[in-house]
Amino acid sequence: MAERYSRQMLFAPIGPAGQGKLLQARAAIVGMGALGTVLASHLVRAGVGFVRLIDRDFVEPSNLQRQLLYDEIDAEQSVPKAIAAAKRLAAANSGVDIEPRVADVHPGNAEELLADVDVILDGSDNYAVRYLINDVAVKHGIPWVYGGAVSSRGTTATIIPGETPCLACLFGAAPPRGSTDTCDTIGVIGPVVSVVASYQATEALKLLVGDYERISRSIVHLDLWNNQHSSIDSRGMRKPDCPACALKQFDHLHAEDSGEWIESLCGRDSVQIVPKQSAKLDLSAWAERFKPLGRVELNPFLLKFHIDEDMRLVLFADGRVLIQGTDDLTTAKSLYSRYIGM
């Protein structure tokens, strides 16, 4: 340990005692895209003892510009991001327990995935997941670090339940789906992702070594391309009627339980359907079923069934299905019913 972490332990706010705390700490990263790959690299290389990598997606060529743990072979083979990231990170630090989870975070599994760690890092790309993280974090008293990056802009904030405003205090209700800019609609440059994730990782290290006096109490905004940086002091923003941290209602966590979770993935021309009852899929068996109907691609983690040139189904072993080639929920439900069954 002394050699690997020697430069980090020379940094007085961490030191040998802080390094010992990091080695015993547990972290979860939600989303292994651009932010998540930088976050995971910092935490694993810093020696955080347990890091859970959670992501529902697989590597595609458009990811490689900014998602720093993946390569062209990962994209060609459609390797799930959590699996590819865990492989790279294990090669960087075999002393850290890295747990990849190919999963979508939803009300049915959020507590199982997030409630047993010391800090949660937001690498997601949508507000529905962030408000769900917020509910779990507030309910279980777990600090978490929000982060977002799009275009050349970024935002981050550290949330400590019971001490700071929560996400619902800071931003109110979750914005309607499709009402905010995303990387898939207006693009993003890689450097802003690295800067935002580095802010987040630094806050995580402060939390894990117990240096609460130096935790940021501000919402940080930056725009690298336009040379802008600002922060808003958030210490007076806790709301006495906040549904999450004041009233403990946890509306996002206690979503209505029926059928499937169905969502259009903004900017992706895709719809995701997640069965609320656990439904493990035998991908090899489904591949045999689909072969007479169209082109099939199979790897150990997912199955792609090409219905035609424009439309395909992507099946994951955990029961999730992506309908790619449409963002219309009715069309997606129809295809799901036809090929999978409702």
Q: Annotated active-site positions, please? A: 183
CB of 96 closer than 8 Å to CB of 48: yes
Express the helix, strand and coil content of the chain in percent, nearest 5 each.
35, 25, 40
Question: Which residue has tokens 């129809």?
Answer: 334
Please check whether residue 303 is in contact with residue 295, taking contact to mean a CB–CB distance below 8 angstroms: no
Residue among 185, 194, 183, 199 nearest 150 (CA): 183
Which strand (E) or helix (H) includes residue 162?
none
Q: Are strands 144-150 and 50-55 parallel, antiparallel or unpaired?
A: unpaired
- Contact predicate 40/29, CB 8 Å: yes
Ramachandran quadrant class, 151 (left: phi over 0; alpha: psi -120 to 50; beta: rest): left
Taking the mean position of all CA atoms in its chain, how far away is CA 41? Answer: 14
Kind and range of the H or E element at 23? helix 15-24
